[in-house]
Copies of this chain bind each other. A is one copy, B any other.
Amino acid sequence: MRATLIHGPRDVRLEHVPDPRVELPTDAVVRVVAACVCGSDLWPYRGVAPTPEPRRIGHEFVGIVEEVGASVAAVRPGDFVVAPFTISDNTCVHCRNGVQTSCVHGGSWGAVNDDGLFADGGQGERVRVPYADGTLVVAPAVPSDELLPGVLACSDVMGTGHHAARSARVGAGSTVVVVGDGAVGLCAVIAARRLGAERIVAMSRNPARQALATRFGATDLVAERGAEGVAHVLDLLDGVGADSALECVGTKESMQQALDVARPGGLVGFVGVPAGGPEVSVRQMFGTNVGVVGGVAPVRSYIPELLADVWSGAIEPGLVFDLTLPLDEVAQAYAAMDERRAVKVMLRP
């Protein structure tokens, strides 16, 4: 089969690799129907994270189960499934606590996992899925082409935006500021609205993303950043600040922006993969009682409820995909996201 490998900065290639197969009784093999490029994939692409040797890449995909191991019970051949961006057994204590990203048997796509075997990356034609019963979520049916992007968004960005909102305890009547207008930030707007937020300020200076944020439920837009951005947000929120600030970027500046727009006693929900660190001012947190909660999103625990809302049309996170390319053109997909010509690219094998 063919799958994507990253060789180094700005060098991703679709190559022939061995076909995956069921290796363990708990495995499944999934034929990928759609995959995507994540903002975090851009880190090795840009050389921010090193790539010492060529490796498989991609951790967001949906597809159809082709084969399952003898002990797989919840997933059957022919099922359309959503794969979260991490592997988990969904039975260990951390999974039961809703933190599947800390699963004691957990692992990553495109890496050798706890079982000592290689799990394919998501940007390929097929994937060996460890702990198939725990990892995969079965969709009600094969989605229409119209529904497909929204279903794919449940694999990462929608669940990640939701995690930011949940971590910051967004609820009915909340005032929310979303820092970051990438796919995750836009999904965080959806999540905040879905959880009942009354006021949602999206910080964005890109007209297309502003429009999408507004469609998703943002009540206010702030184009400024830094101190000017803080001043504008405070002006909108009666000088008080937000109950919840959702940090969806991962830089020192975005974390500071989130801390600065939260009200005393408020929460920052953070899901941006930290580009550095430590970068949180404990003294500021101490003085303001603004807490910082979040991390790598346990998307697996959120997929059932989010997928149901995508299926019903209640939420439309698929709109974050503004470019679809065949898997053959995966290199162009990376370039489009790197150059910010696309918010999020869907790949079709």
Residues of B within 8 A of A270 (CB): 282, 285-286
Whether A99 and B289, one on each chain, are in contact in the complex, defined by CB atoms closer than 8 angstroms, is: yes
Q: Is A308 an interface residue (CB 8 A)?
A: no
Q: Given A97-B263, A279-B278: A298 and B292 within 8 A (CB)?
A: no
Q: Is A277 an interface residue (CB 8 A)?
A: yes
- Give the distance to chain B from A59, nearest Cβ to Cβ, in Å: 15
Q: Is A98 an interface residue (CB 8 A)?
A: yes
User: When chains A and B are docked, how far (Å) is the Cα of A274 from the Cα of B284?
Assistant: 10
- Give the distance to chain B from A168, nearest Cβ to Cβ, in Å: 10
Whether A282 and B278, one on each chain, are in contact in the complex, defined by CB atoms closer than 8 angstroms, is: yes
Residues of B within 8 A of A255 (CB): 282
- Give the distance to chain B from A4, nearest Cβ to Cβ, in Å: 25
Residues of B within 8 A of A298 (CB): 265, 289
Give the nearest-CB partner of A286 in chain B. Answer: B295
Give the nearest-CB partner of A95 in chain B. Answer: B264
Number of chain A interface residues as a range = 35 or more
Among B264, B267, B280, B287, point to the contact of A280 (Cβ < 8 A): B280
Whether A97 and B264, one on each chain, are in contact in the complex, defined by CB atoms closer than 8 angstroms, is: yes
Q: Is A336 an interface residue (CB 8 A)?
A: no
Residues of B within 8 A of A296 (CB): 286-287, 289
- Give the distance to chain B from A161, nearest Cβ to Cβ, in Å: 16
Q: Is A293 an interface residue (CB 8 A)?
A: yes
Q: Is A20 an interface residue (CB 8 A)?
A: no
Whether B280 and A282, one on each chain, are in contact in the complex, defined by CB atoms closer than 8 angstroms, is: yes
User: When chains A and B are docked, how far (Å) is the Cα of A216 from the Cα of B258?
Assistant: 38
User: When chains A and B are docked, how far (Å) is the Cα of A240 from the Cα of B103?
Assistant: 11
User: When chains A and B are docked, how far (Å) is the Cα of A277 from the Cα of B296?
Assistant: 24
User: When chains A and B are docked, how far (Å) is the Cα of A312 from the Cα of B125?
Assistant: 69
- Give the distance to chain B from A103, nearest Cβ to Cβ, in Å: 9
Residues of B within 8 A of A8 (CB): none
Whether B99 and A264, one on each chain, are in contact in the complex, defined by CB atoms closer than 8 angstroms, is: yes
Whether A93 and B240, one on each chain, are in contact in the complex, defined by CB atoms closer than 8 angstroms, is: yes
Q: Is A214 an interface residue (CB 8 A)?
A: no
Q: Is A294 an interface residue (CB 8 A)?
A: yes
